[in-house]
Amino acid sequence: MQIDAVDQRIIALLVADARASYADIGTRVSLSAPAVKRRVDRLRATGVIRGFTAVVDPAAVGWTTEAFVELFCAGRTTPAQIGVATRRHPEVVGAYTVSGEADALVHLRAADIAHLEAALERLRGESFVTSTRSTIVLSRLVESPGVGPSSRTP
Amino acid sequence: MQIDAVDQRIIALLVADARASYADIGTRVSLSAPAVKRRVDRLRATGVIRGFTAVVDPAAVGWTTEAFVELFCAGRTTPAQIGVATRRHPEVVGAYTVSGEADALVHLRAADIAHLEAALERLRGESFVTSTRSTIVLSRLVESPGVGPSSRTP
DNA sequence: TGTGAAAGAGTGACTTG
DNA sequence: CAAGTCACTCTTTCACA
């Protein structure tokens, strides 16, 4: 699907504030509100915009402990398998297959160290996991939602 | 600040759909629309809800290459220093100080390998960086926005 | 917190370049 | 075909009980 410069700007504005009105966006991109709505509808329908979400301070909700866990998997493990398995754990906020020694990298978020340990144990219980290597997050310095500065086109 | 069970449910609903109407949320939590608005306003004012954003398919915007980079830093480098420095790079979508060998873990997103390489070079140019170790993301399996399933309280 | 009223936003049908 | 206009409905958001 083709997205033009106006779409880009609309996306950037929605990433900055998902509750902005179509009229507001319209004035910023020189379009009428219905025109903006049609574009947003199209972007949602084609999957460019996956949805709208609230950005919550994890500490405020009590999920304050984070870790990155490298997963070493059994010989014939597919990415899809890892995806399905990791998605089952609510503590998993990110999972990626990666190059290098490990097969996958899993981003965990939990209430505290005890909760994190429990989640890790559960993860290690997955049949295809042969071993893990954890890295505890000491502090979160940057965490952009969305796709980063989507106003830029590289 | 104190957030009760109703706040939790409102947060969960907004994470699921940031554009839900107050009336809609209200029926789900048995409150009137203005009551919901007042709670959301309070949650925003106190920083529990940091904002509302659109979740964009990175591939659709052309940022399709990702990496995790471990940063090894000079002796007296503060987390704040790393935070300020990494925030300068638009490719950085996440940065954390971590336990283990490395001092920090940086999550990069770029258009392609060339762009990623350029970003990495720029990052390595930061005065306090002594060395880096990169892990390329092969596929994204899970990536939850917000705070994960915030309907759960651990 | 709920109610009700005024202002504003979302959305469909229709028209125009 | 995509944008603009208009009309109608639903939301937001205020004051007050």
Question: Residue A146: left (phi > 0), alpha (psi -120 to 50), or beta?
Answer: left
- Whether B51 and A17 have beta carbons less than 8 Å apart is answered as yes
CA of A47 to C1' of C12 (A): 23
Model confidence at B1, pLDDT cuts 50, 70, 90, reads confident
Nearest to A62 by CA among A94, A109, A119: A109
Give the pLDDT confidence score for residue B61 in this predicted structure: 84
Model confidence at A147, pLDDT cuts 50, 70, 90, reads low
Model confidence at A146, pLDDT cuts 50, 70, 90, reads low
Put simply, the answer to whether B139 touches A1 (Cβ < 8 Å) is: no
Sign of CA dihedral B142, B145, B149, B153: positive
Tokens for A121, please give them.
């144990």
CA torsion angle for B6, B7, B11, B12 (degrees, to 10)?
A: -30
Q: Model's pTM, two decimal places? A: 0.85
Query: What do you get for the CA distance between the two ends of chain B, in Å?
Result: 18
Contacts of A50 in chain B (CB under 8 A): 55-57
Q: Is the CB of A24 under 7 A from strand C?
A: yes
B36: nearest nucleotide, CA–C1' criterion: C1
Is the confidence at residue B110, as pLDDT, over 90? yes
Model confidence at B151, pLDDT cuts 50, 70, 90, reads very low
Q: Is the CB of B32 under 7 A from strand C?
A: yes
Give the pLDDT confidence score for residue A12 in this predicted structure: 93
Mean pLDDT (whole number) for B61-65: 88
Put simply, the answer to whether B55 touches A54 (Cβ < 8 Å) is: no
Is the confidence at residue A149, as pLDDT, over 60? no
CA of A42 to C1' of D2 (A): 12
Model confidence at B2, pLDDT cuts 50, 70, 90, reads confident
**One-letter identity of residue B117:** E
Mean pLDDT (whole number) for B120-142: 96
